[in-house]
Structure 1
């Protein structure tokens, strides 16, 4: 990661405002009010698996969507609501706006960003692409609208391997951004010629293979589920490597009763909901002497709360948390996004 990107990540982490803890009465008050406001605003709530369980359950109860970024994009585009409330991080709100320019896109806070997005500044990335004009540019969904606009394809982890296999069969060489771990994973899985941008997720990069192996000693029958944004050492010891939706599917279908899960702990809500009799353990992110054995939670995802969501919905102007994307940039970014959605559909046929 460049010095500029590292500094951007540090500044954003320093500026994070934690969501206030609410008691049960406050939570119920906000939940009731949000349900009323969603109806009044002709709005639907779209939440990522990594948000707080309180947010995920609210999305389910109100006819919204809890999903990975690909399914969030599909759902928001196809839903008839005139307003989408996107609980996640900023690139997800931008993607929703690009795919549904006629809709109003609100987020509980626009300050919720992503280290992968921050780690791939559009100007530096564009210069990198210019240095390799012979390569097909594939960018992960966890990027800004400006980076997507520079790409040939957008991809999510759920279809990354299949897409790179497809492009490799066409004889194309790949320029991949921003996550080097996911880029390394797809390169190893496909044998494709993949040149990676140097960035990583601050959560997934911290998972420790040695810690997982130590945990396996206590739970020898546990299956290890790993998101491919994790380092290669973690991928190599995994029983299943996959996107959030793929890991949830594995938790339901595998016969194991215990799972060590190497991704954001927000995913436990859906895993426990769909496999209630099973045990889920957070994969360690630190050594045995550390204060935090596992810090497996994105600090920006944690900025989505009931209180700020309610504030946004109550305000006629969205309390300054409406997502806007330059129309010309959105038009450019729509091309690789639509390619992603169409390719994803083809895999389901």
Structure 2
């Protein structure tokens, strides 16, 4: 009996990888898809923490990462022993962790969030009178503190791609453009860049902003995130001028080296059963990490149901 193989790809992978996938999405979309997939083998063209999340949510599936080196700086900059000691300094706080974290990190968390639902989940916790500590992304946490007046203690790790965006290069790039310009940015970017942005949001949020853009047709839209999403934005709105925000004068070449390790040959090999199998997580680790992830997914699904109920019913005429 043949095994059912599905391939998941993040928006930051190359276009040729996305075209090989059964599902392309951001972290939240891919987590939900992996959890519900009726698959024997899940090939995850992304980075290791994403493949680990898929295994945690669908433990009966064999999850394969095409390249063993596909990690994330937010993971490599976080020593889990130090994180545990940091967390113990705040025994009365809720530990909220960004999904860009290892399975061991997730197991030390009370909630997991993605860039799409982090605002709503932390607002929900504060509305309940809770105090929050946030890890691992310092830039995202700093933006939340600035935007909403929180005083969350923050872990100090950064995405090495987003952290390269800087205000000086952005000012120079936008000043060189004739006509109107806009900036949209991922919250992993530094705070001075986020303060300048016309929109701050998740990968999917930025894509939806582009899809619905209805302002000056000659505008230049700068995007402060990994360049993989520009492919999807260009497909959605070929009429717009969309460029990656510069990281220094004249440079628009900011890529995640770990995402780009997913190439056609490696993905094909993973689809044939070769690659890095996520088989090293113990049942205890997966159980501990699953709880905060499922808490997040339940929250997001409840929000989606509420939003659907608020939509006006279509009336036949």
TM-score, normalising length from structure 2?
0.91
Helix, strand or coil for the counterpart of 1:58?
coil
Helix, strand or coil for the counterpart of 1:126?
helix
2:195 matches 1:236: yes
Q: How many Å separate the matches in 1 of 2:19 and 2:121?
A: 32
Quote the residue 2:214 is aligned against: 255
Q: Structure 1 residue 313: deviation in Å?
A: 2.7
Query: Aligned to 2:73, which of 115, 118, 126?
Result: 115
Q: How many Å separate the matches in 1 of 2:178 and 2:7?
A: 37
C-alpha RMSD over aligned residues: 1.5
2:278 matches 1:323: yes
Q: How many Å separate the matches in 1 of 2:3 and 2:178?
A: 48
Q: How many Å separate the matches in 2 of 1:104 and 1:346?
A: 29
Residue segments in structure 1 that go unaligned for 5+ positions in a row: 1-38
Residue segments in structure 2 that go unaligned for 5+ positions in a row: 307-317
- Out of 70-79 and 251-260, give the one that drifted further: 251-260
Q: Structure 1 residue 120: deviation in Å?
A: 1.3
CA contact (8 A) 2:66 2:262 kept: yes
Query: Aligned to 1:169, which of 127, 130, 133?
Result: 127
Q: Structure 1 residue 190: deviation in Å?
A: 2.4
Residue-by-residue CA offset, 1:268-322 (whole Å, 9 max, x unaligned): 111111112112111011245xxxx13311000000011111222334xx34x11
Helix, strand or coil for the counterpart of 1:196?
coil
2:291 matches 1:335: yes
Quote the residue 1:43 is aligned against: 5
Structure 2 CA distance for partners of 1:198 and 1:81, relative to 1, 3 Å: same
Q: How does 1:128-139 map to 2 (within 5 A)?
A: 128-139=86-97
Quote the residue 1:268 is aligned against: 230
Q: How many Å separate the matches in 2 of 1:283 and 1:322?
A: 36
Q: Structure 1 residue 189: deviation in Å?
A: 2.4
Q: Which runs of 4+ in 1 moved over 6 A?
A: none
Query: Aligned to 1:226, which of 149, 162, 185?
Result: 185
Q: Structure 1 residue 123: deviation in Å?
A: 1.1
Q: How many Å separate the matches in 1 of 2:148 and 2:224?
A: 23
Q: How many Å separate the matches in 1 of 2:125 and 2:133?
A: 11
Q: How many Å separate the matches in 2 of 1:314 and 1:149?
A: 31
Q: How many Å separate the matches in 2 of 1:228 and 1:73?
A: 20
